[in-house]
Each structure stands twice: as structure tokens, then as C-alpha cells.
Amino acid sequence: MKKFFNPQRQEWEAILERPTKTVADIEQIVEQIFREVKAGGDAAVKNYSELFDGYKSDAFEVTSEEIKKASAAVSEELKAAIDLAKENIRKFHAAQKTSPVSVETVSGVACWQEKRPIQKVGLYIPGGTAPLFSTILMLAVPAQIAGCKEVVLCTPPAKDGSVNPAILYTAQLCGIKKIYKVGGIQAVAAMTFGTQSIDKVYKIFGPGNQYVTVAKQMATKYNVAIDMPAGPSELLVVADASADAAFVASDLLSQAEHGTDSQVVLVSLSKALLEEVASEIEKQLEELPRKETAQAAIAHSRFIYMNSEEKALELIDEYAPEHLIICTSNPDLFVEGINNAGSVFIGNYTPESAGDYASGTNHTLPTNGYAKQYSGVNLDSFTKAITFQKISSEGIQKIGPSIELMAEAEGLQAHKNAVTLRLKKLKASGNE
């Protein structure tokens, strides 16, 4: 870990740099795979699945028998935990429903807005050493609430073609019918173009490594939307002397174990606490099964001492963390002052893990500074707003002259004529 003490503003950009590759480093291979999947469909997906995942098969879709076996393999205790998390996530996202907005802008001109579900969505669920079945809840539950008609799920298999039982159990619990054993760039490409086996979707959701992130961005070039350009996970903790050093260390390590390219940052208002947390991290690291992964991430972590809460807040806003934990005696300053963060956790007893699993908020969040422009996944992510308007003869007479003048000023005569013809007919019929 690297330590910094009261860094000057001009140093912040370099200190807060993410340990990620640039798109240029990855884009060439992504473009190649996209071209091949577009042209070759299932055959290309099969080739890349064998190359990257070691999985060789002509059939990608998970069978009902596989789902049945997976369900039997999940313990009743884990099923109960998943049920609890699902219900909390359902409650929080159902509460985000909004009613149609309607207004008469002037007499005779009615305008309203209604939300409609995105009909076809694709979910990418990471597998491997950390099978993120919790992400299925975060994506499938709001998709269900929104009313999405078709949900396609792709997840990378093991070399023997198996998928973690908890992933399959959770997917069927959420009513997903189309589950495919495909991962990485080829999965995103398949959902972008559609293949003989895998349906094309309108929007792709889900986290992944930097290759998946670039693949999702590539999908946008082919008229497929994405949730956000989310990449490697990150966490920033701001803490003062009132914080529990062991708690802070455990939170930092909880993100560090996601991957070697994860980044964790501690902004401390106490030099003593900063050193205590560093010591706690070394102690807790020894007990982690994913020690090597966490250790690699900790190597490019940042421990920053700031002697002012206001300066600390400025630095945090500049970093725009995916996750922000506030453990200070004056949390309101940070809660009320933060502008850029994916999700915020307040107090010593609010670990980031709660948001990852069961509190109810969504854990699919913007990383790499995108919290300055993007929201995390929410119910609206699965809908689009359509505006409607209805204008009466009275209404067109009220706004028509303004439309004519504006259209003429822009040199768009046909626009003007569309109004003028109507006004003339009303005048001729004596309905002015």
C-alpha cells in the first residue's frame, strides 16, 4: 500500500489513478471476437469458449435437469439466505415505481409520460472462483418488477461444462428461462448480435473484468445499450479516530479479494488510525483463502491522511468511488456533501458487504470515476420513458402561431406548413 500525508491538490490526479488498462490495450481482441461472432454465430462462440474457458460443447443452453441437480446441491441454509436477500431487493426496487406524469401545458395541450419495460435484456454473471449469484438477484429482480418480457443470462462454465449450483438455483428462482454457459467477450458479442442459440437483446447488464467492460462498450456501437461502463471493483473508506480499525480493514479487504485489479482507498482523518488499519490488514490477510488476490490489490491501494474534513470530502468527490463507507463522528458533512459516489454506507455497523448481498440496494454500480455521470442499476434501468401528447383544436390555435414563427426562423418550411394547414382549416370551418 502507498501512504500519502496531506497531498496537495495538484497531486490528487496521480494519487487517485485507477490500476486499469486502457481500452486501446484490449479493444483489438474484442473487435476481432465481435466480427467473428457476428459472422459465425454459434461456431465462433464455441471456438472462443474452448479457447478461453476450456469448455468444448455444441450446446450452450442449461437444461432443466442441470437446474434440478443444482437446486438439490444448494443447502437449505443458503436457499433461506438467498430468499431473504431477494425479498429485501424486491422491496427496495418495487418502492422505486413511479406513476405517470401528466400536465396540460396550456388549455387544449395535454402532455404525459409513461414508463415501459425494455422488452429484451441480457444479464452477464461472472463465474469462476467467485461465482456472483448475488448479481442475478440484483438484475433479475428489478427486471421482473419492470416487466421485461425476455431475460437472457450468460455465465462462464468450468472446463467440464458445469455451472456453480447457486447461480443456476438463483436464476430459476428469479424466473429466468434462458440460461447459457458462455462467458467473457464471446457472451457479450452473442447477446449483441444473436446467434443460432442465443437471442439478441436490447440492453446488457452485469459486471465483469476489463475485457467484459470493453466488450460491453463495443456493444453500444451496434445499437445495444448497457447499464454502465462498470469494471474492476473499488471502495473508499473515510474514517476518523472514532472508527474501528478492524472493521475498516475488513471492509477494504472485502473489495480487495474481488480481483487483483480491484482498488481500495482509505482516507483517514487520524494518522494513528491509518497505521492501525495498515496493521490490521496484514493480520487479517493471513486468514483469507483469497490471500494472494487480495494482497495484489492491496499493493496498489492508497492510504491518504487528510487533516481537514472539507479537504477530505473534496478528494473523495474527485475520486468518485463505486462504494463509499463513512465512519466518522460527523458523518452528516460527508452524507450531505457527497456528489459523486455509486453507493454510500454510513456508520461502523454498515459494511459494504450488506449492499453486496442483502440490505436491498443494488450492487451493480459505476466504477472508474463514472459515478460522476452514472447512477447504479435501479428499476428505471430496465425501463424507458415514452412521452405522449394530445392537442385539441383549441390547443393548436394557442401554440400554432409560435410554432410557425420558430419553424420559419429555422428555415424549416414543411414544419411551418404542418401547422398552417390546420389553422387555415379551422379558420375556414369557423372553429376559431
Do the beta carbons of residue 400 and residue 419 sit within 8 Å?
yes
119 is in an annotated binding site: no
317 is in an annotated binding site: no
Report the 10 Å Cβ neighbour count for 244. 16
93 is in an annotated binding site: no
55 is in an annotated binding site: no
* Orientation of helix 413-428 relative to helix 393-409, angle to 10°: 150
Distance CA 343, CA 234 (A): 11
Do the beta carbons of residue 362 and residue 378 sit within 8 Å?
yes
Distance CA 42, CA 113 (A): 40
CA atoms within 13 A on the CB side of 68: 3
258 is in an annotated binding site: yes
210 is in an annotated binding site: no
CA atoms within 13 A on the CB side of 388: 11
255 is in an annotated binding site: yes
10 is in an annotated binding site: no
Q: DSSP 3-state assignment of 43?
A: helix
Catalytic site residues?
322-323
Of the candidates 151, 188, 198, 183, the one whose C-alpha atom is nearest the C-alpha of residue 170 is 151
323 is in an annotated binding site: yes
Do the beta carbons of residue 181 and residue 163 sit within 8 Å?
yes
Pairing label, strands 343-346, 101-106 = unpaired
48 is in an annotated binding site: no
Binding residues for substrate: 233, 255, 258, 323, 356, 410, 415
Binding site: residue ranges?
124, 186, 209, 233, 255, 258, 323, 356, 410, 415
List the binding residues for NAD(+). Answer: 124, 186, 209
Known binding positions for Zn(2+)? 255, 258, 356, 415
